[in-house]
């Protein structure tokens, strides 16, 4: 079907395409998944080839796991029951930029950075701006519905999708039209955004672009605590003053923090008068509530270095095989959580997390809301590295306790990266009663259950 050069069974290729950027220590109770491997890797170049592979697999009941840039951090591509890795990186053509319509048509293997560069050639930008811009692909970003630095203004990646071409689990090819306003529902693009390849394989995407900002400005505000700064963020959003960049972070003060343990990073972009007015009002709201304007410098540096982690990963880490990367000990005794919560529960949840970590002798190194006051993040570490040798370290139990609390408070367990293998077992709790419908939809689009099986509770 594909030609001999597009099919591989060598050990290194199978290992590489069985994992994304997750560290096995972060898999916690799912750590046994590091033994998983696909049986074969294939690299199609066309939608027709993708459909051929899926029809073959469906006829034999063989799993198919779509693979993009391999930059996910939750293990979404781990082949829990083996199968075929569908490596989409050869499908990397930018097919069209429609300047007047502010749309781009691309194949799934296009890197976000390349799409943004092409858009800028037309006076436009890609609104999706995660840390992984230099290394993540369009298809992968849609499949995890990922959130980027400017999601407060432009939305998540899934919200920027205008239309899709998708191969279903029986090989049928379906296209959703990029209409300005669809006259009736359901809105089917949403069936595939965030689905981690379980509902279909994205082979083409029409992405909304945005006008290149006329002006961009930054501000940084220092607060005595997260609790002091949080009402300012909620006030801005309640006013409808939504910055393009908003990050309220409490951590050990750095050189830029001028001694403040909590900083509010703000970035504004758009037409000139809008930016000037937003910055002035935001600073007025912040300083009248006890914040201190410490100038734009810290946020400017934050902005300039926001993709540095991805660049280091591309240059130093990606060349290594997964098993070589795992020899580092970075995540041995640490984890991060990204939970969604009702606004009225965020401070209560933070207090609960502090109680949990104190009881288990853990430390919260960072607490933040990012892009939206309802999206709360924690970085938790165990100062006693010896605990990592236990069958069930305190960190694992604390993470479970905090995720359970997020759901109990009316929230979700991961707003940024998808559930993947790490948090897949939490999907049924997060779905609630809607799980029945989700499973019926899964059966309708993937009757043999071959598309990335054993994920998302489906």
Residue range 58-88, pLDDT digits in tens: 999 999 999 999 999 999 999 999 999 999 9
Residue 181 confidence (pLDDT): 87
Task: Output DSSP code: residue 212.
Answer: P
The mean pLDDT of 414-436, rounded to a whole number, is 94
* pLDDT tens digits, one per residue of 150-162: 999 999 999 999 9
Rg (CA), the chain: 22
Which of the four CATH numbers 3.30.70.2740, 3.40.109.10, 1.20.58.110, 3.80.30.20 does domain 332-422 have?
3.30.70.2740
Domain boundaries, the chain: 4-87, 94-211, 215-304, 332-422
Q: What is the percent of the chain with per-residue pLDDT over 70, rounded to a whole number?
A: 100
User: 427: which 2 tokens?
Assistant: 């999907």
Q: Kind of pairing, strands 64-67 and 84-87?
A: parallel
CA neighbor of 114 nearest in space, from 149, 144, 74, 69: 69
CB 262 within 8 A of CB 221: no
Q: Does domain 94-211 have CATH number 3.30.465.10?
A: yes
For residue 185, name the pLDDT band (cuts at 50, 70, 90).
Answer: confident
Average pLDDT for 256-276? 96
CATH of 215-304, one of 3.30.70.3450, 3.40.250.10, 3.30.56.10, 3.30.470.10: 3.30.70.3450
CA-wise closest residue to 248 among 299, 191, 198? 299
pLDDT > 90 in the chain, percent = 94
Q: Which of 129, 136, 20, 124 is nearest to 370 (CA)?
A: 129
Q: 277: which DSSP letter?
A: H
Q: Tens of pLDDT along 102-126?
A: 999 999 999 999 999 999 999 999 9
Domain 4-87 part of CATH 3.40.1190.20 = no
pLDDT at 182 over 90: no
Please, are residues 387 and 400 in contact by the beta-carbon 8 Å criterion? no
Mean pLDDT of 306-320: 93
Mean pLDDT confidence for 412-436: 95
pLDDT at 219 over 90: yes
Residue 113 confidence (pLDDT):
97
Cα three-residue angle 419-70-422, rounded to 5 degrees: 25
Q: Residue 76 is encoded by which pair of tokens?
A: 């979404």
Q: Matching CATH topology for 215-304 and 332-422?
A: yes
pLDDT tens, 31-65? Answer: 999 999 999 999 999 999 999 999 999 999 999 99
Number of other residues whose CB lies within 10 A of the CB of residue 59: 12
With H, G, I as helix, E, B as strand and everything else as coil, classify residue 97: strand
Which regions of 288-407 does DSSP assign to beta strands (E)?
292-293, 334-340, 363-370, 375-381
């Amino acid at each position: 079907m594909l030609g001999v050069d597009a099919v591989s069974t060598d050990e290194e290729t199978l290992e590489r395409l069985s994992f994304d950027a997750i560290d096995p220590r972060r898999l916690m109770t799912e750590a046994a998944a590091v033994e998983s491997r696909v049986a074969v890797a294939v690299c199609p170049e066309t939608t027709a080839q993708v459909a051929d592979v899926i029809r073959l697999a469906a006829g034999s009941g063989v799993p198919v796991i779509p693979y993009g840039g391999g930059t996910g951090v939750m293990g979404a591509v781990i082949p829990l029951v083996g199968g075929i890795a569908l490596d989409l990186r050869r499908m990397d053509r930018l097919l069209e930029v429609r300047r007047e319509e502010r749309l781009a048509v691309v194949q799934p293997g296009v890197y976000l950075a390349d799409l943004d560069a092409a858009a800028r050639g037309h006076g436009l930008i890609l609104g999706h701006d995660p840390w992984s811009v230099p290394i993540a692909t369009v298809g992968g970003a849609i499949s995890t519905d990922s959130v980027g630095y400017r999601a407060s203004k432009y939305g998540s990646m899934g919200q920027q999708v205008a239309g899709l071409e998708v191969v279903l689990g029986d090989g049928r090819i379906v296209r959703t039209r990029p209409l300005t306003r669809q006259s009736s529902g359901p809105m089917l693009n949403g069936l595939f955004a965030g689905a981690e390849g379980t509902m279909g394989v994205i082979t083409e995407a029409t992405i909304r672009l945005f006008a290149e900002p006329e002006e961009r400005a930054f501000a940084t505000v220092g607060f005595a605590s997260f609790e002091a700064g949080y009402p300012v963020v909620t006030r801005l959003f309640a006013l409808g003053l939504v910055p393009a960049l908003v990050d309220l972070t409490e951590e050990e003060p750095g050189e830029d923090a001028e001694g403040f343990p909590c900083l509010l990073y703000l970035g504004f972009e758009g037409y000139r008068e809008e930016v000037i007015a937003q910055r002035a009002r935001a600073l007025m709201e912040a300083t009248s509530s006890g914040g201190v304007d410490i100038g734009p410098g810290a946020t400017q540096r934050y902005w300039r270095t926001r993709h540095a982690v991805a660049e280091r990963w591309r240059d130093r880490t990606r060349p290594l095989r997964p098993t070589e990367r795992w020899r580092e000990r970075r995540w041995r005794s640490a984890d991060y959580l990204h939970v969604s919560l009702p606004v009225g529960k965020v401070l209560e949840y933070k207090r609960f997390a502090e109680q949990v970590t104190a009881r288990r002798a853990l430390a919260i190194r960072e607490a933040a809301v990012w892009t939206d006051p309802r999206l709360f993040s924690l970085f938790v570490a165990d100062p006693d590295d010896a605990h990592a040798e236990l069958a069930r370290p305190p960190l694992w139990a604390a993470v479970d306790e905090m995720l359970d609390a997020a759901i109990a408070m009316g929230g979700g367990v991961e707003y940024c990266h998808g559930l993947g293998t790490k948090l897949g077992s939490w999907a049924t709790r997060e779905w609630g009663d809607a799980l029945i419908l989700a499973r019926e939809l899964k059966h309708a689009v993937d009757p043999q259950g071959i598309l990335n099986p054993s994920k998302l509770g489906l």
